[in-house]
Amino acid sequence: MTIANGTISMNLAGKVAVVTGAGTGIGRATAIALGGSGVKVIIAEIDAATGVQTEQEIKSHGGQAVFVETDVTSSESVKAMIESTVRHFGKLDIAINNAAISPDAMKISEFDEERWAKTLQVNLTSVALCLKWELQQMIEQGSGGSIVNLASGATLRPQATMPAYTAAKYGVVGLTHVAALENGCHGIRVNALAPSATMTDMLARRFDLDASQDDLVSRFGLLGRFARPEEVAHAAVWLASASSSFVTGINMPIDAGFALM
Ligand SMILES: NC(=O)c1ccc[n+]([C@@H]2O[C@H](COP(=O)([O-])OP(=O)(O)OC[C@H]3O[C@@H](n4cnc5c(N)ncnc54)[C@H](O)[C@@H]3O)[C@@H](O)[C@H]2O)c1
């Protein structure tokens, strides 16, 4: 970070980032915010249609982006995506591990074992796989890096009836701590974000937003509304940038006080 004439610069121009699940929601908003800050962005998304849309959106504003079809549950796919990042842009500085599937909606006493396995695979094992290949690349480069894992407000104030999602997100926080402990010596920072309810497709799938939005928003924070994806994206960009150069190993709430309620 540099501070010149009272202006804070995040020094992101020329950096290279991967954003998983960047076709929609928080991942898309983060990829666009990074692209607009001069970062070269790899859109690592399983859905080609939305992945290409994010790539086009960044390019239409003069940014640099490449969509790389990626399944974050596959080690080969994640490894190939990191290799592709280096082929396209020469290095890897920033990783936003964001891809996930929606929360389950059942009690632990009745939980669906297939859904459990799928949720742990997509929402937790994927983060371990991404960390593995991202860290190997960053350590080999020897120039540090910043990794942001999307956890959830559910790790700060758990909700009933989403056991698999909650367990996976607690796991993401645990992985964040281990990765931060192991890699500070390489100048690599690893942090998590804990957003509360954010207006994305994932949230729409979980709630019938038309039904009782007033009641819902009052349960999810002190500001009387859900977060916008851009509000979570801006926190991710800050953690990715040199502006947060002394921050590692945290699980940062972006929750309008949800954890206090
Ligand atoms: N929306 C919320 O209220 C909220 C709250 C807390 C945490 N989060 C977390 O934030 C992150 C983003 O959530 P969102 O609301 O933007 O979700 P979203 O459903 O809008 O986007 C998720 C993206 O991940 C992609 N994806 C799914 N499986 C994948 C796979 N195997 N490989 C690659 N990509 C895959 C999807 O295609 C989609 O583009 C998630 O980790 C989520 O758990 C969201």
- Per-residue pLDDT, 73: 98
The closest-lying atom of ligand 1 relative to the alpha carbon of residue 153 is: 6
> Per-block average pLDDT, block size 10, for the chain (261 residues)?
66 97 98 98 98 98 98 99 98 98 95 97 99 99 98 96 97 99 98 96 75 72 94 98 97 96 90
Q: Domains of the chain: which residue ranges? A: 8-256
Architecture in CATH of 8-256: 3-Layer(aba) Sandwich (3.40)
Q: How close is the Cα of 187 to the center of ligand 1, in Å?
A: 28
Q: How close is the Cα of 100 to the center of ligand 1, in Å?
A: 4
Q: How close is the Cα of 2 to the center of ligand 1, in Å?
A: 33
Is 165 one of the catalytic residues?
yes
- Find, among 109, 100, 225, the residue nearest to 160 by Cα: 109
Nearest CA to ligand 1 atom 25: 21
Q: Which of 116, 165, 226, 238 is catalytic?
A: 165
Q: How close is the Cα of 54 to the center of ligand 1, in Å?
A: 14
Q: How close is the Cα of 7 to the center of ligand 1, in Å?
A: 33
The closest-lying atom of ligand 1 relative to the alpha carbon of residue 195 is: 6
Pocket of ligand 1 (CB under 6 A): 20-21, 23-27, 45-47, 50, 70-73, 98-101, 122, 150, 152-153, 195, 197-198, 200-203
pTM of the model: 0.97
Nearest CA to ligand 1 atom 10: 150
Pocket test for ligand 1, best of 46, 202, 207, 252 (most atoms within 8 A of CB): 202
Which residues make Cβ contacts (< 8 Å) with residue 79, sequence separation at least 6? Answer: 133
